[in-house]
Amino acid sequence: MKIITFDDVSKLNISPSECFEWVSEMILRKGDTLLPPKTHMNMPGNIFCNVMPGMISGDGASDLGVKVVTRYPDRRPSLDSKILLLNADSGEFLALMDGNWITAMRTGAVAAHSIMHLAKTDFSKIGMIGLGNTARATLLVLAAAASGRKLDIKLLKYKDQAELFIERFSGYDDLHFSVVDDVRDVVKGSDVVISCATYFEDDICTDDCFDEGVLVVPVHTRGFTNCDLFFDKVFADDTGHVDHFKNFSKFRYYAEVSDVVNGRSPGRENDSERILAYNIGLSIHDVNYAAHIYRMMKEKPEVFDALGDADMHDPVDKFWI
């Protein structure tokens, strides 16, 4: 079994366009997967552990994976994830892989996918709240997916994150940035609102802040429950992730994004609809990314052979006690 680290993944220089393609194929093929509910375990001290299994069936090898995400507030960074990848046909353990790059990039790519499929036709004005790694990943993939489209992006000021964010994208000629101090100014006038903030205690804006035609993508779901009640349509990556939301029964219209891309449900039908996209995160994206990365490395013997190995010294006899 190979050990694949964060540095190993980073050295592959996987493009934002590839990240978009990988989530697109998995959203389209959601019906070819097994997606059990994740297990969430809370522990004292605001510590948690999530275990997320998933399996992808294919014409070639089928992929099985388990992602484990932990949060320890005193650890830096507090969030960490690992992915165990298996060959689902043989049961062979293929790799234990860092999940941090995968988590950030697949989350950003899913958000970009929602924007490309559910935003109004001529979207150009984007408001962004929360400017960490997930926001950077989202804009990297969106800039690739919407290549050639000029975007005016309003950033909510927080410490020095807006300035660092602008610096990160200084080489992107089609992206124009401004910084605002009030969250209402981020939302009002935006065609797309992307929130990558991890926590809001209450809803962040009153109903009148959301213009006709707006698409809201709350990556961590917080801060927009008022939108549940008056937006024209709500979409999610998986019904099991949202059917316990307090306003689920009050959604005016609901469908999974996978049903939209497969033509089973309508998506945006005009540029006046207000739309909310809840993408909670599916383990099948992590497994798909991990499988792609594993195969990319295997196609480069000089890279694959240099990876660390983990010999678990598994028992070979049927009876070993």
- Cα separation values, 113 from 19, 139, 243, Å: 10, 11, 22
**pTM confidence score:** 0.94
State which H helix or E strand residue 23 sits in.
Answer: helix 16-28
Closest CA to 54 of 40, 37, 71: 37
pLDDT of residue 216: 98
Say which residues have a Cβ less than 8 Å from residue 295's Cβ, sequence separation at least 6. Answer: none
Domains and CATH numbers, the chain: 2-102+283-309 (3.30.1780.10), 107-278 (3.40.50.720)
pLDDT of residue 79: 87
Q: How many CA atoms lie within 13 A of 217 on its CB side?
A: 32
Instruction: Give the integer Cα–Cα distance in Å for 82 and 34.
Output: 20
pLDDT of residue 198: 80
Provide the residue-wise pLDDT of the chain in tens; the chain has 321 residues. 999 999 999 999 999 999 999 999 999 999 999 999 889 999 999 899 999 999 999 777 799 999 999 999 899 888 899 999 999 999 999 999 999 999 999 999 999 999 999 999 999 999 999 999 999 999 999 999 999 999 999 999 999 999 999 999 999 999 999 999 999 999 999 999 999 988 788 999 999 999 999 999 999 888 999 999 999 999 999 999 899 999 999 999 999 999 999 999 999 999 999 999 999 889 999 999 999 999 999 999 998 999 999 888 888 888 888
